[in-house]
Structure 1
Amino acid sequence: MINTIVIDTEDMDVKPSAVILSIGGFAFDVTNTSETQTAILQVARDPELALYSAQAFYGLVDTFEQLMMGRSVSSETQQWWRAQGEEAHEALVGERQNLATQLLHLSGWISQHREARIFFRGTDFDGSILEHAYRMCGVECPWRYNGKRDVRTYIDAMTRGIRGYVKDHQPCFAMTKHCALHDAMNDAEQMTLAHQINSEMLAA
């Protein structure tokens, strides 16, 4: 039963108006770690699944069109991207579609899981950038203004932590940092582990 969605973006600025490079999402059952890990491993082994799987979404967005629309790029973020590893850059190579098209694809993917809660790592970054993009393109946002949830808060509440990560967690797959899909899958796995930890603490 899919009840949770995590969405991540890679961008060229920290403002809501940022040029969006890629959008990644993963849909899962937050109460089932083993099932989620199995699905993550399947997508990691076959990235094509992210193009049509009900559980995974990955889309690259045309940047030139966004610049013409007036979306923003910061020099600090450009420098940050130059310092990232080769794998992070390779994850951004592929066929790109215009912003409105990818937003519609994302909305269609989310609509398959109408009862799922939508999480971002922080409610004031990726979600705000996507909301700004939806407004700019005149496309209806697929979540309500109060519908965003925070991965960090969830993990800390479940584990009594303070950092927003499961302590000593190692992803079950070969993760490429700053790949939007991989970041979403990593957060999904940690959320299920946090739920499991909480269940074990309550049962003790």
Structure 2
Amino acid sequence: MNHVMIDIETLATSNDAALVSIAAVRFDLETGIVGDSVYFKIDKQSCIDYGLRVDADTVDWWMKQGKEAQEQFLTTEDRVELLQALQDFYLFFEFETDYVWANGINFDCEILRNAYKAIDFPLPWNHFNERDVRTLVHFAPEIKKAEPFVGTKHHPISDCMHQIKYCCKIYKKLKFD
């Protein structure tokens, strides 16, 4: 499986945002089969220590989300330091990753790029292998609209799984139409 869907949750919307959590899920774009995944909840203070930002408006937005989503940013258990999370995240990409998908590469990929820069570590993929979910959705938005969300919204694993489902369906439609 050479495609990976990534998703992040943050405490700001700027490209130097502090990370709440990150996830990646391997998948086959043609079949929709999902492979292994990785997920980290990240310690807020470690992000701040590396110069990443927390924005009051984004924190306020989190407080208006559902309880399950809020747990992404309110709980302190199982959090890892930014450096450890990004190094372990990097290892996930060492094998057969050709394409990295994100629901807005100018958000997820850019924030991760800046986080890796903050820890002085290379991005685990080449920028020219980034693929944007939004571009694919542009060609068949009805498929995304019809796909029911399963899981917890604003949880990066759930978001990845949802995006994989409708991206694979759109890809099949475009390939065979």
Q: TM-score scaled by structure 2?
A: 0.90
Deviation for aligned residue 1:146: 2.7
Q: 1:60 aligned to 2:41? A: yes
Aligned to 1:98: 81
Show the counterpart of 1:4.
3
Match of 2:14 in 1: 15
1:176 to 135, 152, 172: 152
Cα gap change, 1:196 to 1:145, in 2 (>3 Å)? closer
* Whole-angstrom distance in 1 between the partners of 2:124 and 2:29: 20
Alpha-carbon displacement from aligned partner over 1:145-204 (angstroms, at most 9, x marks no partner): 3332101112333x3x4x8x6231114xx310000111111101111111222244x2xx
Alpha-carbon separation, structure 2, partners of 1:125 and 1:24: 14
> Which runs of 5 or more residues in structure 2 are unaligned?
none
* Cα distance in 1 for residues equivalent to 2:70 and 2:96: 30
1: distance between equivalents of 2:167 and 2:104? 14
Q: Secondary structure at the match of 1:166?
A: helix
Contact kept, 8 Å, 2:8 with 2:23, in 1: the verdict is yes
Q: How far off is 1:91 after superposition?
A: 4.1
Partner of 2:136: 154
Which residue of 48, 64, 69 corresponds with 1:83? 64
Gaps of 5+ in 1: 40-53
The alignment-based identity, stated in percent, is: 25
Shift of 1:128: 0.5
1:186 to 159, 162, 166: 162
CA distance in 1, matches of 2:86, 2:49: 17
- CA distance in structure 1 between the partners assigned to 2:72 and 2:86 by the alignment: 19
How far apart, CA to CA, are the structure 2 residues paired with 1:73 and 1:90?
A: 17
The one-letter code matched in structure 2 to 1:178 is H
Pairwise CA distance, 1:32: 0.6
Q: Give the distance between the partners of 1:60 and 1:30, measured in 2 at CA.
A: 27
Residue of structure 2 equivalent to 1:108: 91
More strand by share: 2
SS at match of 2:8: strand
- Residues 24-82 of structure 1 show CA distances to partners (whole Å, capped at 9, x for unaligned) of 1111001113xx2xx4xxxxxxxxxxxxxx62111111111211222111111011000
Q: Which AA in structure 2 matches 1:88?
A: A
